Amino acid sequence: MAYCCDVERKKLQNRISRIHGQVHSLKNKFNDEKFKLEEDPYETIRQLTAIKGAVSGMISSYIEHYAKGHMIESIKKGSNSEAEAQIDNLLEIIKVYGK
């Protein structure tokens, strides 16, 4: 299981690095004194939407990894009440994420 976690950790690190690059690029754009908000709103909105999509994708990937890996192992090792608590926790995460 450790190898799987290492691979997943690397994937998440790569995703967050790409998101960081997107945010940094947009930050530089806004810091540029020559940039005017009204000049190209579509490009800025496209960049913001790409960041939003990347973050949403990362959240989904993380939830999936948690559910398929750690949660299943925890449920297998625990009692029925622990399994119900794990499922309740996952459902709460999904509710919050869905907002």
Write the CATH number for 60: 1.20.58.1000
9 lies in which domain range?
2-97
Instruction: Read off the pTM.
Output: 0.75
> Domains in the chain: how many in total?
1
What's the CA gap between 92 and 71, in Å, rounded?
A: 14
Contact 60, 94 (CB under 8 A): no
What's the CA gap between 92 and 99, in Å, rounded?
A: 11
Q: What is the pLDDT of residues 5-52, one digit of tens each?
A: 788 889 899 999 999 999 999 999 889 888 877 777 898 899 999 999
What's the CA gap between 79 and 86, in Å, rounded?
A: 11
Return the ∠ at Cα 96 (arms to 51 and 42), rounded to 5°.
25
Amino acid at 1: M
